[in-house]
Amino acid sequence: MKSLKIISTLLIMGVLPCTALAQQATSNTSIAPGAVDKVGIAKKLANPIANMISVPLQYEFSRGVGRNQGGSEQTLLFQPVIPFNLGGGDTFIVRPIVAGVREVSVQGASGQPYSGYGIASVTIESFYAPNTNSSWIWGIGPYAQSPSGNSGKFGSQQTGAGVTGVVLNRHGPWTYGLLGYQSWEVGGNPAFGTQNNLYGQPFLAYTNKDAWTFTTNMEALYNYDTRRTSNPLYAGVSKLAVIDGIPFSFSAGPMYYVSNTPGGASGWGARATVTLVVLK
């Protein structure tokens, strides 16, 4: 009887740790077949040249607009990301950006405040991104921007053309890098600003195990003709959620203009984005 108790005790001591290890191994397994990898998608959204179709709709509010800095501006950006597989892991990414703007009490050259809305511009960014077999990736491609319209109230009336580039690293939960473009004017009226611009956007993002992403970036746009830089600093948080099997990302955060161009936004603003992810 005593031997039976000893054997039973040894079995229990052996089975319990094995059971615990089995449960731990189960909890550490990869995403179940058919399930949505929310963390993986959230990390890809932090990568501007990820091989994934996404459709962001971004709302931005800025103040301190106009010659007397007494106006405000609301911008709605539609900027889908469309990748094309080239084989061998190489991709070509196209990012068309359509910007609609509403201005309220913005003082222009005439000295009279203006309120209204219109299309600011249509921009095409593109990147050829080769397979680097590394955590470091890069992309480069042509850039083009249309005039903002005949009024000149929503931006330059010139056409711009140039080149875009990005380099970034994906290290565990971190994604960081630099995106930029160089554009030159190729025709149009320079009275309302030119397309001779240099743009640089350093960015840093951290994604945790619950698919929350904390990000910050600085979007510096230098115009060669005015020799001035518009430089908003943004910090925000986003959450990846799955609704009826469809991934959505919801993000929001404040922004602050460290410097601004004449008549451009200044001081504090805010940004909010809803992004639809299209799974292949």
Q: Answer yes or no: is 9 within a domain.
A: no
Other CB atoms within 10 A of residue 64 CB:
19
Look at residue 199 and tell me if it is in a domain: yes
pLDDT in tens, 110-164: 778 889 988 888 999 999 999 999 999 999 999 999 987 666 778 888 999 999 9
Asked whether residue 16 is assigned to any structural domain, the reply reads no
| Alpha-carbon span 74 to 269, nearest angstrom | 10
pLDDT at 14 over 50: no
User: Is residue 54 within 8 Å of 277, Cβ to Cβ?
Assistant: yes
Count of domains in the chain?
1
Q: Are 234 and 251 in contact (CB under 8 A)?
A: no
* Rounded Cα–Cα distance for residues 36 and 244 (Å): 11
Q: Which tokens sit at 123?
A: 């921009």
Ramachandran region, residue 233 (left: φ > 0; alpha: ψ -120 to 50; beta: rest):
beta
Dihedral sign of CA atoms 79, 167, 207, 31 in order = positive
Integer Cα distance of 108 and 137 in angstroms: 43
Whose CA is closest to 199, among 225, 156, 230, 158? 230
In whole angstroms, what is the distance from residue 15 CA to residue 105 CA? 74
- Strand 212-218 versus strand 53-65 pairing type: unpaired
Mean pLDDT of all residues in 235-262: 96
Rounded Cα gap, residues 268 and 254, in angstroms = 7
Residue 227 is given by DSSP the state: T
Residues 84, 94: Cα–Cα separation, whole Å: 8
Top pLDDT among 14 and 191 is at 191
Amino acid at 6: I
User: Domain range spanning residue 228?
Assistant: 36-278
Q: Considering the chain, what is the average pLDDT of its residues? A: 87
Q: How many CB atoms lie within 10 A of CB 62?
A: 24
Query: Cα angle vertex 250, ends 245, 252, to 5°?
Result: 175
CA 5 – CA 8 distance, rounded (Å): 5
Q: Is the pLDDT of residue 15 over 90?
A: no
In this prediction, residues 220-238 reach a mean pLDDT of 96
Least confident of 14-18, 125-129, 150-154, 229-233: 14-18
Report the percent of the chain where pLDDT is more than 90: 71
The CATH number of whichever domain residue 261 belongs to comes to 2.40.160.40
Which structure tokens are listed for 270? 């805010």
Does 14 fall in a domain?
Answer: no
Q: Per-residue pLDDT averaged across 3-21, rounded?
A: 38
- Domain presence at residue 51: yes
Percent of the chain whose pLDDT exceeds 70: 86
Least confident interval from 93-97, 104-108, 179-183, 204-208: 104-108
CA angle 264, 266, 272 (to 5 degrees): 100
State yes or no: pLDDT of 89 exceeds 90. Answer: yes
| Residue indicated by tokens 């990000």 | 215
Strands (E), the chain: 53-65, 71-78, 82-87, 90-107, 113-129, 136-145, 157-171, 174-189, 197-207, 212-218, 220-223, 228-243, 246-259, 267-278
The answer to whether 93 and 65 are in contact (CB under 8 A) is no
Quick check: is 17 in a domain? no
Nearest to residue 122, comparing CAs of 150, 144, 94? Answer: 144
Residue 144 counted as domain residue: yes
**Considering the domain boundaries, does residue 65 fall inside one?**
yes
